[in-house]
Structure 1
Amino acid sequence: MSGTSEGWIDLSGKLALVTGAAAGIGRASARAIAAAGAMTVVLDRDESGAAATVDAIEASGGKAIARTLDVTDEAAWRGLGSWLEAGWGKVDVLVNSAGIARFDRVDESIAKTYREVFAVNVDGTLFGMTMALRFMRAAGKGAIVNISSTASLKGNPAMASYGASKAAVSHFTRSAALECNRAGSDIRVNAVLPGFTETAMAQAVYDQFDEKLGGRDKTLAVFASGRPAQPEEIADLVLFLASDRASFISGSTISIDRAQGA
Structure 2
Amino acid sequence: MGRVAGKVALVTGGGSGLGAADSELLAQEGATVIVTDVRLEAAQAVADRIGGAAVAMALDVASEAAWQQVIGDIEARFGRLDILINNAGVVVMADCEDTTLEQFRWVNAIMTDGVFLGCKYAIPLMNKGDGGSIVNMSSTGALLGYPIFFAYSAAKGAVRSMTKSIAIMCQDKGYKIRCNSVHPGAIETPMVQEASGRAGQAQAVPDGVLPAGAVGAPSDVAAMVLYLASDESRFVTGAEFVVDNGLTIRP
TM-score, with length taken from structure 2? 0.91
Give secondary structure in 1 for the equivalent of 2:80.
Answer: coil
User: Match of 1:64?
Assistant: 54
The equivalent position to 1:96 in structure 2, one of 86, 102, 107, is 86
Deviations 1:170-194 (A, max 9, x none): 1000000000011122210001000
| Structure 1 residues 209-220: aligned runs within 5 Å | none
Give secondary structure in 2 for the equivalent of 1:207.
Answer: coil
Deviations 1:80-137 (A, max 9, x none): 1221221122110000110001012112643121101001111111111111101122
User: Match of 1:261?
Assistant: 249
Matched-pair identity in %: 37
User: Which amino acid letter does the alignment assign opposite residue 66 of structure 2?
Assistant: A
| Structure 1 residues 107-256: aligned runs within 5 Å | 107=97, 109-207=99-197, 225-256=212-243
Q: CA RMSD of the aligned region, Å?
A: 1.6
**2:2 corresponds to 1:22:** no
Asked whether the equivalents of residues 99 and 121 of structure 1 are also in contact (C-alpha less than 8 Å), the reply is yes
Q: Distance in 2 between matches of 1:198 and 1:90?
A: 33
Query: Where does structure 1 differ by over 4 angstroms across 4 or more consecutive aligned residues?
Result: none
Alpha-carbon spacing, 1:109–1:189, altered in 2? closer, same or farther (3 Å): closer
Q: Distance in 2 between matches of 1:195 and 1:162?
A: 13
Specify every segment of 5 or more residues in structure 1 that has no aligned partner in the other structure, as ranges: 209-215, 217-223
Larger radius of gyration: 1
Higher helix share: 1
TM-score, with length taken from structure 1? 0.87
**2:43 corresponds to 1:50:** yes
Number of aligned positions between the proteins? 238
Asked whether the equivalents of residues 133 and 228 of structure 2 are also in contact (C-alpha less than 8 Å), the reply is yes
Cα drift, residue 138 of structure 1: 2.4
**2:30 corresponds to 1:40:** no
The equivalent position to 2:68 in structure 1, one of 75, 78, 91, is 78
